Structure formats: C-alpha cells, structure tokens
Structure 1
Amino acid sequence: MQRAIRKEVRMMSDDERRRLFDAFRQLKASGEYNRLASIHRQVLLYMLQIRSTH
C-alpha cells in the first residue's frame, strides 16, 4: 500500500471526481458512511465530556 496524499476536490479530473462521489454514494447506500459518522460523533462527544471535567 502506498502513502496517500489528499487531493483538493477542485483539482481533480472529471473522472477522479466522479469516482470519488460514486464511492461516497456506495458508502451511504450500504450504511457504512452513517456507521463511521456515528463513531466519530461518539468520540467527539467523549472528548468534549472529558475536557469539561478537567
């Protein structure tokens, strides 16, 4: 696996942008996107809770 470099969406070719958005649509359709979003939300809430108690 090679190192990934984040590419600005506005700098992507039409094909790259289409493939990216297709991947997001697949993640949404499978429910995986929402599962990952939930994990991130839980971590954020946990971190905010810890921060407010110190």
Structure 2
Amino acid sequence: MWKCPYCGSEYGMPYQDSNLTGMLCLGEMCGRFHTMTEEESKQVERHVYESDM
C-alpha cells in the first residue's frame, strides 16, 4: 500500500482508469484521491505486488 499524502495512513491504493491516474486513500476517516504526477505514476507501474500468503 502507499502512504496517503493527506492523512498519512498506509491505506493508499493506486487507481487508474481512462481519465484518472492517482492514489485513493482507503483510510476509514479519509477517502481522498491524490492525482499522481508523471514520475509517481511510473513508480506505480513498476511496483510489483507480493502476496503475504
């Protein structure tokens, strides 16, 4: 998960569709959307998710 720039929680989730690229905070009291810069977007594309199973 990514750190939310608004509330500081560790509940940020990368989000991308045809119009938006950014990070959506899934924190209980936040829920804000942070539009990512081109550089931040590239970091998300390179991110490899690992299972904890």
Would the TM-score normalized by the shorter structure come out above 0.5?
no
Q: TM-score, normalised by structure 2?
A: 0.31
Larger Rg: 1
**Higher relative strand content:** 2
Asked which structure has the greater RCO (Cα within 8 Å, sep 6+), the reply is 2
**Higher relative helix content:** 1
